[in-house]
Amino acid sequence: MMAAAGYYVMARDQLQRFRAAVDADGTGEEVVTLVDELAAAGYQIAAHDELKTAPRGFARDHPRIALLRRGGSMASRSWPIAPWMHTVAAVDKVGEAWAGTAAMCGWLDAHVGPSTMAPDERH
């Protein structure tokens, strides 16, 4: 079972805002701290896709290049099949996992937000 939160796939306008916020020193350092804290707490950090090199307009040695290469930002927790999954404990585990991502999701909402593009124009 997996519980995840974040912006797994971003539309073009979201990706532009994400990269601008990651590039900026204040907001970029803030999201690195959030991602590092989640990883240290056992979350997997992923995106739908990731560039092999720097996105156009960014230096390959940018201090936050790992985040800039991502096409989204999602934190997840996974558990192997276990008896507790068939009990109310599953609700608690998933709720705790989602609660743990609140700061990162708040950052994404504040600095990226929803797409304003029509659905057929997003990718």
Residue 123 or residue 8, greater confidence: 8
Tokens of 28: 């970029």
CATH code of 102's domain: 3.30.1460
pLDDT of 117 reads 87
pLDDT tens across 52-79, in order?
999 999 999 999 999 999 999 999 999 9
Q: Which residues pair with 76 in a beta bridge?
A: 4, 44
State the average pLDDT over residues 38-45.
Answer: 97
Q: Which residues pair with 75 in a beta bridge?
A: 5, 45
> What single-letter DSSP state applies at residue 46?
E
pLDDT tens across 98-112, in order?
999 999 999 999 999
Q: How many domains are there within the chain?
A: 1
122, part of any domain: no
Residue 19 CB neighbours (<10 A): 21
pTM surpassing 0.95? no
> What single-letter DSSP state applies at residue 50?
B
Residue 86 belongs to domain spanning: 2-115
Q: Using a pLDDT cut of 70, give the percent of the chain over it.
A: 100
